[in-house]
Amino acid sequence: MRVCEVMSSPAVVVTPDTPVKQAALALAENAFTSLPVVDVDSSFVGLVSEPDLLVDRFPPDPRIPGPRTSVPDPGKTVGDVMHTDVLVAHPQEGVADLVTVLRLAGLRAVPVVDGGTVVGMVTYRDLVRALARDDALIAADVTRRLGCYAGPDRWAVAVSDGEVTLTGEERDPIERHTVGLIAEAIIGVTSVRFADPVVVAEG
């Protein structure tokens, strides 16, 4: 599975000149945690996240006792608070590798960038949606793809909790390897196994 197959596209983007309030509204309306930032020619220049928008944004509540300190100017535009040193994904990158990177970096979302242009956004929500995909839809996709490659009815497909079981008479290791790779590339597939056909002894 590749990033381009699970990402949200087109991405909702902002510019460095976008007011913080407007960026916050975009996050709230779309249930996002971060937004790619692009310049006037749509080139990717950075990322703005929920914490970036919230830092020093709320003054102390006067009803709560405690010392009063001055609140620094938090900035009025996205350009004042965004990050430019940002981890990005490529649309052809593997989802398995991306999950590892997200966990190690402690991120919940990354922009998907191709040739300097933002083409999407991939989040944990996108990945969970792929994991939760209905088994019947996965089986239909695998069956169709294998039919295009090897011909109809050459492989029987069964799916349970994302695990694909392939049954067929074909013993050629090259074809078995290829159909396994084809099945693994389908959205929602978590693993692929081969079940050898049952041979009934003649009595």
Q: Give the whole-angstrom CA distance, residue 69 versus residue 59.
A: 9
The DSSP result for 92-125, as a single string, is: TSBHHHHHHHHHHHT-SEEEEEETTEEEEEEEHH
Judged against a pLDDT cut of 60, whether residue 201 lies above it is answered with no
The candidate with the shortest Cα–Cα distance to 16, out of 25, 42, 170, 56, is: 42
> What's the pTM value of the predicted model, to 2 decimals?
0.80
The candidate with the shortest Cα–Cα distance to 116, out of 23, 46, 33, 26, is: 46
| Percent of the chain topping pLDDT 90 | 73
The predicted-structure confidence for 27-65, as pLDDT tens digits, reads as follows: 999 888 999 999 988 899 999 999 999 988 887 777 888
Q: Give the whole-angstrom CA distance, residue 135 versus residue 160.
A: 6
Burial of 167-179, coded b for 16+ CB within 10 Å and e otherwise, reads ebeeeeeeeeeeb
Give me the chain's average pLDDT, please.
90
- Domains detected in the chain: 3-57+73-131 (3.10.580.10), 135-194 (3.30.1340)
pLDDT at position 71, please?
67
Within a 13 Å sphere around the CA of 56, how many CA atoms are in the beta-carbon half? 10
Judged against a pLDDT cut of 90, whether residue 171 lies above it is answered with no
pLDDT at position 98, please?
94
The predicted-structure confidence for 129-140, as pLDDT tens digits, reads as follows: 999 999 999 999
145 versus 199: which is more confidently predicted? Answer: 145
Helix, strand or coil, per DSSP, at residue 37: strand
What number is the average pLDDT over the span 109-121? 94
